[in-house]
Structure formats: structure tokens, C-alpha cells
Amino acid sequence: MSKIIDGKKIAQNIRMELKDEIKNLKKDGRVPGLTVVMVGNNPASETYVSMKEKAAEEIGINSRLIKKDEDISEKELLDLIDELNNDPAVDGILVQLPLPEHIDEKKVIESIVPDKDVDGFHPINTGRLFSGQEDSLRYEACTPLGIIRMLEREGIEIDGKNATIVGRSNIVGKPIAHLLLERHATVTICHSHTKDLKAETKRADIVVAAVGRAEMITGDMIKEGAVVIDVGINRIDGELLGDVEFESAKEVASRITPVPGGVGPMTIAMLMENTVKARKYHGV
């Protein structure tokens, strides 16, 4: 039976380390500033934003939420982001997705200056990741970065391992592939056109499930002793389920993340980490 990776505990430890760091930054002049912009009243977004605000408050980040009605025009939203780009008290800007259909998400993401893009979605930040520019300021997307931190904190070897990622989104699948490549894993990305998914996952030492389909990855698709990271959050009949069928997979895997309590807390911790990084970059 596998060891369950406690994402809550790891995230809490990281937040406490950041809290000490923020105390020192405060002595230098000011605490990090994070502004979250939310459009409309999406219940899932509201819950997630509330968790972000709580985490920021806990460690001493100056967090501000700007809520706008769903009928805000694209121009009004872009003008707001421009104001935040030019506000020296704002180190990080996060626009909560999804946005209403009449607003171009791509245009909004690209309007945030790269050095305040703590979500790590701006093309310049993703470009620096994909081209391996570690010597430049770059922010990695929070969920993939959280997965890497989780593996590191658990002492899980990445170098030389076979890693299979199920899902090719710009938010998780593609960036985690590059982060694993940087750490010398041999990476396979699977998707809806993959001919034999089971054959690909079965040979992986590390499986990252990020496809958005409840319990798609079952225990018989996992190699004995593999590490399984479940990114999926699927609400089925009021219950939260991952992309991995937990009960069968835990009998085969050496380590596995639960849903909830696995990757989710790490995503928020990495947002805090990126915001502290932005504060250091911007200085006093």
C-alpha cells in the first residue's frame, strides 16, 4: 500500500518559511503586495479566491481583492490591469479565471506585465520556461511548480525517471513536462489522441494525472511502486474526485496524492512563493 503525500502539511511548512521571509522584507521597507481581480460570481472561483486571501493574510502578504460585475467591458478590465501594472505597491497581479465569454482571456493575461504575472501564464514567462532560461526572472505556473516542490520535499528522485503526464493543457500539462525535463526526467505527454494510454502510464515511474476526467486512471494502469500525482478536481454528486481512482491506485503506487488535500494546497502556496519572489524583484 502506498504512502499518501500530505499536500496540506507540505504547503503549511512552505507558508511558514515564507512568513519568516516576509518579516525580513517588512524590515526592509514593505511586505509583498498581491491583487486578485475577480469578474462575476462563479462559486468555485469565490471559494478558491477566499483560500488565497486566507493564505496571504496568514503569512503577512498585503492581499487585495477587486470584484467586478460580470458585465464589465473588456476595455474596462484592461484599463484596471494597466493601473495595477503601474502601481508600485502591487507586486503580483492575478486575474481569476474563467472570465465571461465576452472577454478575451488571452488578451487579459498578456496585458499583465510579466514581472507581476505571479500566476505564470504570460507568454514571456512560459517562453522563458520552455527555452530553459533559468538566469532570467520567470514565474512558473503555480500548480506545476507545486508538484515539483512536493516531489522535492518528499525526497522523490526525478533525475533519470520516466514521467508520464496525462493532459496537455497550458496551465498544467505542458509546464510540468518542462519542469520535469529540466530535472532530467524522460517525459511522455499523453492526450485524447494517445493510442494506448495504459501502456504509457504503466511504464512510468511518475504519473501526473491532469486531464479533468473523474477516476480516469485506475490501479491497473499504474506500475508497481510508481509515484502518482493527481491534479484533477471533479465534483460528482457533491463529492470531490480526482482524475485517479484512488482506492485501486493506492494499492499499487509507492506514493500518491489525495483529492482533496494533495496538489490543491500546493498551488496556493506557490502563488504565495511567486508573490514573495516578485516583491524581491521590485525592491522597496
CATH code, domain carrying 259: 3.40.50.720
Give the residue carrying C-alpha cell 493564505: 55
Same domain, residue pair 86 and 159: no
Q: Is 133 a catalytic residue?
A: no
Q: From the candidates 115, 117, 119, 230, which is the catalytic residue?
A: 119
pLDDT computed for residue 135 by the predictor: 74
- The pTM for the full model equals 0.95
- The answer, yes or no, to whether residue 103 has pLDDT greater than 90, is yes
Same domain, residue pair 158 and 258: yes
The pair phi, psi for residue 90, each rounded to 5°, is -100, 110
- Residue 100 host element (H or E): none
Same domain, residue pair 103 and 156: no
- The answer, yes or no, to whether residue 8 has pLDDT greater than 80, is yes
What distance in Å separates the CA atoms of residue 94 and residue 174, rounded to the nearest whole number?
20
**Model confidence at 57, in pLDDT bands (50, 70, 90)?**
very high
Q: Is residue 166 part of a domain?
A: yes
pLDDT computed for residue 282 by the predictor: 95
Q: Is 96 a catalytic residue?
A: yes
Cα dihedral across residues 63, 230, 129, 79: positive or negative? negative
pLDDT computed for residue 132 by the predictor: 84
Contact 223, 206 (CB under 8 A): no
Same domain, residue pair 164 and 239: yes
- Residue 249, classified by CB atoms within 10 Å of its CB into exposed (0-12), middle (13-18) or buried (19+), is buried
Same domain, residue pair 92 and 153: no
Q: Is 87 a catalytic residue?
A: no
Amino acid at 203: R
Q: Is residue 135 part of a domain?
A: no
- The answer, yes or no, to whether residue 114 has pLDDT greater than 90, is yes
Q: Which residues pair with 64 in a beta bridge?
A: 35
State the chain's mean pLDDT as an integer. 96
Q: From the candidates 6, 96, 205, 230, which is the catalytic residue?
A: 96
What distance in Å separates the CA atoms of residue 260 and residue 264, rounded to the nearest whole number?
7
Q: Is residue 209 part of a domain?
A: yes
Q: Is residue 16 part of a domain?
A: no
Count of domains forming the chain: 2
Same domain, residue pair 161 and 255: yes
Same domain, residue pair 149 and 226: yes
Give the domain range for residue 95: 30-113
Same domain, residue pair 157 and 245: yes
Angle in degrees, CA 66, 125, 12, rounded to 5: 60
Amino acid at 116: K
Q: Is residue 1 part of a domain?
A: no
Across 43-68, average pLDDT: 95
Same domain, residue pair 150 and 77: no
pLDDT computed for residue 98 by the predictor: 93
Give the residue carrying C-alpha cell 504575472: 117
What distance in Å separates the CA atoms of residue 280 and residue 48, rounded to the nearest whole number?
25
Q: Is residue 273 part of a domain?
A: no
pLDDT computed for residue 33 by the predictor: 98
Q: Is residue 122 part of a domain?
A: no
Same domain, residue pair 157 and 255: yes
Q: Is residue 182 part of a domain?
A: yes
Same domain, residue pair 172 and 104: no
Give the three cell numbers for residue 129: 520556461
> What's the pLDDT tens digit per position in 257-278?
999 999 999 999 999 999 999 9
What distance in Å separates the CA atoms of residue 228 and residue 16, rounded to the nearest whole number?
26
User: Which CATH number covers residue 37?
Assistant: 3.40.50.10860
Number of residues that make up the chain: 284
What is the Cα Rg of the chain in Å? 19
Same domain, residue pair 164 and 208: yes
Cα dihedral across residues 140, 142, 147, 150: positive or negative? positive
Q: What is the dihedral of CA 17, 21, 23, 28, to 10 degrees?
A: 180
What distance in Å separates the CA atoms of residue 283 and residue 245, rounded to the nearest whole number?
46
